[in-house]
Every structure is written in structure tokens, then in C-alpha cells.
Structure 1
Amino acid sequence: MHDFQVSVAQSPPFTLVTLSGELDVITVPRLRERVEPLLARPATRILFDVEKLRFIDSAGMRVLIDACVRTPPKDGDGALCGMSPQMRHLFSLLGLTSRLTVYPTRADALSRPAATAP
């Protein structure tokens, strides 16, 4: 059974997308279904909270990466927070942590929304 949950809430200045469970090729369509309308809005700043994500495969990574880079910087941006050490290591190995905005926690993202994350 694929246990995956996605919730969307406003947490100014971000639209917060909280993920939990397993994000894989089977659950990716559910995430895309929720994220595509957000990307269609101008000036959307999406923050993906992945703290409760237990597993992510390459299909899941692709959706997160696409969503984070599809919004032009002048209109908004996408960011990730709450990565596990394993996920952060994987994103780092792929050279993604230097290309994406990654915050250690949701609180860090919300307290420094315009800053470049460490």
C-alpha cells in the first residue's frame, strides 16, 4: 500500500505543500494534480515541506525539481524544507542543493523567506 498524503495551505509568503509518506511513480500523479494549479498562478512561492516524507524515488524528485524551477524568479520561487539527512545527501550528490532553495526547517523558511538558504 502506498501511503502518501499531500496538503496545501497558505503560510505567507508561501503556499505550503506538505508531503508525507512515500512519493514514487505510483503517487506522483496525485502530487502533480495538486501542484499544477499552483504553478499556473502568477507570483506563487511554493514551499515543499518534506519532513514527513519517508521515501522518494526519481519520479518524485523530478516533480519537486520541476516545480521549484518552473516559476521564474521574478514571479516567485520554489523551495524545499525539512529534508532528511539521506534526502539532502542525495540532492547534494546530484548537485541540486546548490541550484534549489533548501531550508533546514519550515520555521527557517518562514523566518527568512527572501534569503538564500544555507
Structure 2
Amino acid sequence: MHDFQVSVAQSPPFTLITLSGELDVLTVPALREQVAPLLARPATRILFDLERLRFIDSAGMRVLIDACVRNPPKDGDGAVCGMSPQMRHLFSLLGLSSRLTMYPTRADALRRPAAEPPGTAHMN
């Protein structure tokens, strides 16, 4: 059962994308549809809130990576927050924790909104 949901809201300085359910090869198109127009805008800072995301496969991770680490880099590239310990471990094993800005919670991300270099981790 794929109960994936995506919502987009403005939470300055970020465009907040909240994901819930399972992000996999079958649900990735729904996320790409929401993210593509945001990436076309200059200096859009995206924050993916993954607190309610139960599962992510390699296709889903690719969308997050592409959105957060752009080529060429744009001012204030994206960040992720609310990852489960298992998801943080997976991102670390894949070497992604050094490429993505990660925050423990949405509140932490909003308290530290200044642009930070990729790889900044705030997982105290």
C-alpha cells in the first residue's frame, strides 16, 4: 500500500516540503511534480521534513539529493529534517551526511535559517 503524501508550504526562509508514508519508485513522480517548479526558481531554499516518512528507496533518495545539492550550487541549497535514526544511519553509510545539511527537527532548521555549507549536520 502506497499512502505517500506530499505537502508544500512557505515557512520563511524555506519552502517546506513535508513527506509522509512511503517514498519509492511508484511515488517518486508525485514528489518530482511538486519539486520541479520550486527548483526552477532562483534562490529557493527547500527544507524536506521527513519526520512522517516511514520508508525511502534509492529513487526517493535521488530526488532529495538532486533537490538539495544542485549543480551548479545555488545560494541556500536544500536541507532535510526530522529523519529517523535509521534513516540518518542510512544517509551516513551512503556518504550523504557530508553532502546534505541536516537538522534533527523542523524547529531546529527554522532557528538556524542562515545559509550553511553542504554537509553541515546539526544532529546533537
What pairs up with 1:47-86 in 2 under 5 angstroms? 47-70=47-70, 72-86=72-86
Q: State the 1:76 CA deviation.
A: 2.5
Task: List alignment gaps of at least 5 residues for structure 2.
Answer: none
TM-score (norm 1): 0.95
Q: State the 1:113 CA deviation.
A: 1.2
Could you list the structure 1 runs, at least 4 aligned residues long, displaced by more than 4 angstroms after superposition: 71-74
Q: State the 1:117 CA deviation.
A: 3.5
What letter corresponds to residue 10 of structure 1 in structure 2? Q
Residue in 1 that maps onto 2:43: 43
8 A contact 1:9–1:17 mirrored in 2:
yes
TM-score (norm 2): 0.90
Task: List alignment gaps of at least 5 residues for structure 1.
Answer: none
Secondary structure in 2 aligned to 1:75? coil
What is the rounded CA distance, in whole Å, between the counterparts of 1:88 and 1:96 in structure 2?
9
Q: State the 1:72 CA deviation.
A: 4.9
Residue in 2 that maps onto 1:106: 106
Q: State the 1:73 CA deviation.
A: 4.5
What is the rounded CA distance, in whole Å, between the counterparts of 2:112 and 2:13 in structure 1?
10
RMSD: 1.3
